[in-house]
């Protein structure tokens, strides 16, 4: 796995973005950027050559699920692995995210171990 890959962290709570950024740094990923909802994330993704997207679901403006759908519908972006990190835990929602093409789904509150495991799994599959 390329530890220098460019990662976009999308969450409306700045505290959660900091937590994820710090956990990623602990795992050796230092090339991260942040956005506070889908509306600000999408232009960043379109202009920024990102390798990985980590997004919350419930955000004002553009929701994470809509960001995921927009990414999958964009020819340039559709290959980006997407990990959803969210407090949304209804079965219907997880199914919806899976159908929209999410690569991993972590429910909050989560542990550093869970985040690492899901990221590893996503990139094992991408490499395979």
Partner 1 sequence: MAESPDQAKEQLLLARSLVSHLESGNEDEAVSVIAELAGFRDSMLFQEIGRLTRELHDSINGFVMDARLADIAQTDMPDAAERLRYVIATTEQAANTTLGAVEDSLPLADSLRSDARHLAEQWARFNSRQLSVDDFRELSAELSHFLSVTESNSEALHGKLSEVLLAQGYQDITGQVIRKVIALVDDVEGKLVELVRLSGHRSRTAGDGPAEGRDVSPQGPVVPGVDKGDVVNCQDDVDDLLSSLGF
- For partner 1, the binding residues (CB under 8 A) are 11, 13, 15-16, 18-19, 22-23, 26, 57-58, 63, 65, 87-96, 98, 105-112, 114
CB of 60 to partner 1, least distance (A): 9
Query: Would the CA dihedral through 88, 91, 97, 103 be positive or negative?
Result: positive
Q: Which is nearer to partner 1, 8 or 122 (CB)?
A: 122
Closest separation in Å from C-beta 84 to partner 1: 10
Of 46 and 69, the one with the shorter C-beta distance to partner 1 is 69
Question: Nearest approach, Cβ of 6 to partner 1 (angstroms)?
Answer: 22
Q: How far apart are CA 99 and CA 120, in angstroms?
A: 21
Instruction: Kindly write down the DSSP assignment for every residue of 23-56, as one continuous string.
Output: HHHHTT---EEEESSHHHHHHHHHHH--SEEEE-
Q: Which is nearer to partner 1, 16 or 46 (CB)?
A: 16
35, HSE (Cβ side, Cα atoms, 13 Å) = 26
CB of 62 to partner 1, least distance (A): 12
Token pair belonging to 9: 């962290």
Question: Per this entry, what is the length of the chain?
Answer: 128
């Amino acid at each position: 796995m390329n530890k220098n890959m460019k990662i976009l962290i999308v969450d409306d709570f700045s505290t959660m973005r900091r937590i994820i950024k710090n956990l990623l740094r602990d795992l050796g990923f230092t090339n991260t950027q942040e956005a506070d909802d889908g509306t600000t994330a999408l232009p960043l993704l379109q202009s920024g050559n990102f390798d990985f997207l980590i997004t919350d679901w419930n955000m004002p403006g553009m929701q994470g699920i809509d960001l995921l759908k927009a990414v999958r519908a964009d020819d340039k972006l559709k290959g980006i692995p997407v990990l959803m990190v969210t407090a949304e835990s209804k079965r219907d929602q997880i199914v919806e995210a899976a159908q929209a093409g999410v690569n991993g789904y972590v429910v909050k509150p989560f542990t550093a171990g869970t985040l690492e495991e899901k990221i590893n799994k996503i990139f094992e599959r991408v490499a395979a």
